[in-house]
Amino acid sequence: MDSLASAAAQILGSRLRERRESLDLSQEDVAHMSAMHVSNYGKIERGKANPNLHTLLRIASVLEIDPGVLIAGLSGDMVTKRPHKLTAAELIKARQG
């Protein structure tokens, strides 16, 4: 992830923290039960790291929450912009001439 946290990562992290605290669990508890290092889990909560799909599913399972709830409302517009300027549809059209 880029050095600047994306809005999506910050929102996900905030949702994870809120749920964890509602269950009265520590970051260490969640990290241990999710089979990950506590520093990595902490980075996810702070919006400084993006979990892969399997990690997100394990965390959601530990927190007893539907993963869809964690990512609801997030969109591509909320992530750090990449240098390309074309959408997939524009690229396909350009290739076709």
User: CA-to-CA distance for 44 and 48, rounded, in angstroms?
Assistant: 6
Asked whether residue 47 carries a pLDDT value surpassing 70, the answer given is: yes
- Residue 14: Cβ within 10 Å count: 13
Q: pLDDT per residue over 69-93, tens digit each? A: 999 999 888 887 766 777 888 888 8
Tell me the average pLDDT of the chain.
91
Note the pLDDT of residue 5: 76
CATH numeric code, 7-96: 1.10.260.40
Domain boundaries, the chain: 7-96
Residue 4 has pLDDT above 60, yes or no: no
Q: Environment class of residue 87 by beta-carbon count within 10 Å: exposed (0-12), middle (13-18) or buried (19+)?
A: exposed
Q: Is 36 exposed, middle or buried (0-12, 13-18, 19+ CB in 10 A)?
A: middle
**pLDDT confidence of residue 81:** 72
